[in-house]
Structure 1
Amino acid sequence: MAHHDDQEFAEYFAAKRDSVRRTAYLLCGDWHRADDLAQTAFVSLHRRWRKIRDRRAVDAYVRKTLVRAAIDESRRPWRRERHTDEVPEPVAAQAGRRDALAETVSTRADLRAALAHVPSKQRAVLVLRYFEGLDVSGVARTLGCSEGNVKSQTSRGLAKLRAVLGEEVDTRG
């Protein structure tokens, strides 16, 4: 890779590293796996960096690579097991916290936990639509499927979230 290409890639990586990692986390629900997924996406991008003619398409390429890696990873048998490093806090320890902060943390934790129960392809559609802000056609291009498929996967994913959360999910965005 030429020095100029290396510099361009380094600048892109520095600018997008955190957002790609956050998206990966939403796709898989684990920061360590998110790091691995982001690394996979950036390594793939680095391999093809010189061949990419339209630099405006780089975000879409990284997004597509990230989603495909997350879906592939979720299919591996050892990923079906769930372990946790966190021990639940006793209720008495939570009582001293401010209610607003506890509610925000609770809501975020509930959403992450609920996303873990949504099948990987539906989860990818929900993350791309509601957290990455892509429209239906953008999600379809990223996943390489039809817009109708995106709409049905969105509908099924939201239904699964509603069932897991036991309440109405606001999708107005």
Structure 2
Amino acid sequence: MGPERTDDGRDDYVSFVERHQHRLLRAAYLICGNRHQAEDLLQDALLKLALRWPAVRHGDPAAYVRAILYRDAVSWWRRRRREWLSAYPPERETGDGDGALRLSVRAALDRLPPRQRAVVVLRYFEDLTEAATAEVLGVTVGTVKSQCHDALRRLRQVAPDLGVAAGPDDGRSAGMEVGR
């Protein structure tokens, strides 16, 4: 008989990371607006997840990582106060519609305050419910609704070409329609 193997969850952790890393990296990028910082945020978040994996693995580890990403990004923003340094020149429009749209969305998100940006990313790019967004951010559903409302109003002002339109409800939680 070989040595007895205990289930420490390593295989589950690796499987989780392989299944979710691209989506979580996209969320990190949309929250912070910088690919290198997003990679660093995600790497730190996945390390924190690994340390807590036995306690988190049977719950919703993706929500746990998103909460870490948001909290760490806010901490970074507070330290840096919106000082954006880059070793690379701004991306140029390539002529394809998707590239221009991607740049427009990124530029519009950059003009939002951190909490509003996080709400928009979680609600419309991560497709979380208002309740799930509130849980990730550690705020009330009412705060999510008001931050979303304010963010969409701001996006309509700074980027009317994106076609940010109100949803079918009372306008408190609006949807993003690109190319309207």
Contact kept? 2:130, 2:145, Cα under 8 Å: yes
TM-score norm. by structure 2 comes to 0.81
Mapped to 1, the partners of 2:33 and 2:41 lie a distance apart of 11
Q: Comparing both structures, which one devotes a greater share of its residues to helix?
A: 1
Give CA deviations for 1:13-39 in whole Å, capped at 9, x if unaligned: 111111111110111111100101101
Q: Report whether the alignment pairs 1:169 with 2:173.
A: no
Partner of 1:23: 27
**What amino acid sits opposite 1:148 in the alignment?**
G
Q: CA deviation at 1:72?
A: 1.4
Structure 1 unaligned runs (5+)? none
Query: Percent identity between the aligned chains?
Result: 34
Mapped to 1, the partners of 2:54 and 2:136 lie a distance apart of 21
SS in 2 for 1:55: coil
**What is the aligned residue count?**
162
From 119, 124, 129, give the equivalent of 1:135.
129
From 71, 74, 84, give the equivalent of 1:71.
74
SS in 1 for 2:60: helix
Mapped to 1, the partners of 2:65 and 2:91 lie a distance apart of 35
Contact kept? 2:41, 2:73, Cα under 8 Å: yes
The alpha-carbon distance between structure 1 residues 114 and 84, as it changes in their structure 2 partners (threshold 3 A), is farther
The alpha-carbon distance between structure 1 residues 87 and 153, as it changes in their structure 2 partners (threshold 3 A), is closer
Contact kept? 2:31, 2:73, Cα under 8 Å: yes
Mapped to 2, the partners of 1:78 and 1:154 lie a distance apart of 22
Mapped to 2, the partners of 1:43 and 1:9 lie a distance apart of 11
Mapped to 2, the partners of 1:88 and 1:128 lie a distance apart of 25
Q: CA deviation at 1:106?
A: 0.9
Mapped to 1, the partners of 2:70 and 2:79 lie a distance apart of 15
From 51, 58, 77, give the equivalent of 2:55.
51
Contact kept? 2:116, 2:148, Cα under 8 Å: yes
Q: Report whether the alignment pairs 1:40 with 2:44.
A: yes
Contact kept? 1:73, 1:79, Cα under 8 Å: no
Q: CA deviation at 1:88?
A: 6.0
Partner of 1:147: 141
The alpha-carbon distance between structure 1 residues 59 and 127, as it changes in their structure 2 partners (threshold 3 A), is same
Contact kept? 2:164, 2:176, Cα under 8 Å: no
By relative contact order (CA 8 Å, sep 6+), the higher-ranking structure is: 1
Query: Which range moves more in the overlay, 75-84 or 134-143?
Result: 75-84
Mapped to 2, the partners of 1:125 and 1:77 lie a distance apart of 20
Structure 2 unaligned runs (5+)? 1-5, 166-174
**What amino acid sits opposite 1:131 in the alignment?**
F
The alpha-carbon distance between structure 1 residues 15 and 159, as it changes in their structure 2 partners (threshold 3 A), is same
TM-score norm. by structure 1 comes to 0.84
